[in-house]
Amino acid sequence: MTPIAPDPEPARARVAFFDALPTTDRGHVDFSTVRGTQLLEPLFEFPGACAGCGETPYLKVLSQLFGDRMVVANATGCSSIYGGNLPTTPWAVNVEGRGPAWANSLFEDNAEFGLGMRLAADHQFAAARRLLESLRGRIGDELAGALTSASQRTEYEIRQQRARVAQLVDRLATLDDPAARQLATMAGQLVRRSVWIVGGDGWAYDIGSGGLDHVLASGRDVNVLVLDTEVYSNTGGQASKATPLGAVAKFATAGKHTEKKDLALQAMAYGNVYVARIAMGANPQQTLDALREAETYTGPSIVLAYAHCIAHGIDMQQGLDQQSRAVHSGYWPLMRYNPELRNVSEPPLTLDSVRPSMPFRAYAERELRYRMLLLSDPPRGEALLRAAQEAVDRKWKQYEDLAVLR
């Protein structure tokens, strides 16, 4: 313990200066590039996660892209702890007072919880649309038609819709009508909500897997982000179905003897679900492309994000480098499965990473969860590493074969 600085005013002045800097107009930002997104205001900041956490960068980017109209259903786990801590929260609002609406239910029903948010948003849009139609003659056919039929898939289109909503509110203020007053309170519902269902692998692969499958099968326009640390991080490092072959974790102290569940392949089997696997440390541009495509896609989407974790037994300062090794070893192939590509006679599956350029061992030996078994039981450790390499080779061949199918 040391005394606080005798005069904190200079520091306060510096903070006030940076807080007063204007934010960049989103209309002048190129959303398609990593450089451009750095100019977008984050609406997720200063989370109380572990130093070097692999999960929080994905949420920060998500909040930059869609935060001012985002609705988040957050599964219990690390992301609900650092996301819902009080008396402060990392979820923020912009200068217009807009920001993500965030809520946490349970481990086992988070997917259904998020689906309910989507259904509620659709119901509110339909109610606002009915009122709009009842007042069409007094509002004007051109404005009413544009409000109900305009596409709202890109940032530019969202801004255009918001301008129409503002125009609608101005016109409603001139009408002395109960329906007009009611519509004025609901006008914001005419802007498309971006619904995100967020959680870790313990939720998505294990406890909430049945609900997640139900939601993906619903065909509804929901987005799922799985922060995959490959272990139950928040409760002490227990093995999950996402834990890879050969890794040591609680309840798998002799090394996990089964392969990691391939949630991407399961989701792709539906044929109408957008699926992506990303790793920011390996390819930030592909991460950005996948998140934007998932949100734009009309229908269910799921993005699996590699998130390094302190439970892996790594130097957390080198987390992004380890993500890159996971990709270049072929263990975590980057991919995007976009069903809409079939409409232009293209294969829906795109492999965004090249063939493995290093052995799986070169990635695994940098993590204590693999290395400790080589120290405690060398024969078993070596056997599991060989099996893991075979699994990587087999899985890569499977994805290569799928990437040419239309």
Helix (H, G, I), strand (E, B) or coil at 91: strand
User: Is residue 6 pLDDT above 80, yes or no?
Assistant: no
DSSP string of 349-405? EEE-SPSP-S-HHHHHTTSHHHHHHHHH-HHHHHHHHHHHHHHHHHHHHHHHHHTT-
> What's the mean pLDDT in 225-231?
96
Beta-carbon neighbour count of residue 277 at 10 Å?
Answer: 27
- Mean pLDDT (the chain, rounded): 94
Helix (H, G, I), strand (E, B) or coil at 209: helix
User: Is residue 163 pLDDT above 90, yes or no?
Assistant: yes
In this structure, are residues 403 and 346 in contact, taking their beta carbons and an 8 Å threshold?
A: no
Q: What are phi and psi of 377, to 5 degrees?
A: -150, 75
343-355 pLDDT per residue, tens: 999 999 999 999 9
177-225 pLDDT per residue, tens: 999 999 999 999 999 999 999 999 999 999 999 999 999 999 999 999 9
Which of 88, 384, 78 lies closest to 236, judged by CA?
A: 78
What is the reported pLDDT for 81?
Answer: 93
269-309 pLDDT per residue, tens: 999 999 999 999 999 999 999 999 999 999 999 999 999 99
What is the set of domains in the chain, with CATH numbers?
Answer: 34-115+192-402 (3.40.50.970), 120-190 (no CATH)
pLDDT band at 107 (very low <50, low <70, confident <90, very high): confident
The total number of residues shown for the chain amounts to 406
User: Is residue 127 pLDDT above 90, yes or no?
Assistant: yes
Q: What is the C-alpha to C-alpha distance for residues 208 and 225, in angstroms, rounded to an integer? A: 13
Beta-carbon neighbour count of residue 169 at 10 Å?
Answer: 14
48-73 pLDDT per residue, tens: 999 999 999 999 999 999 999 999 99
**Model-level pTM?**
0.94
In this structure, are residues 98 and 110 in contact, taking their beta carbons and an 8 Å threshold?
A: no
In this structure, are residues 322 and 316 in contact, taking their beta carbons and an 8 Å threshold?
A: no
**Given the structure tokens 């994905």, which residue do they identify?**
58
Q: What percent of the chain has pLDDT over 70?
A: 100
> What's the mean pLDDT in 236-264?
94
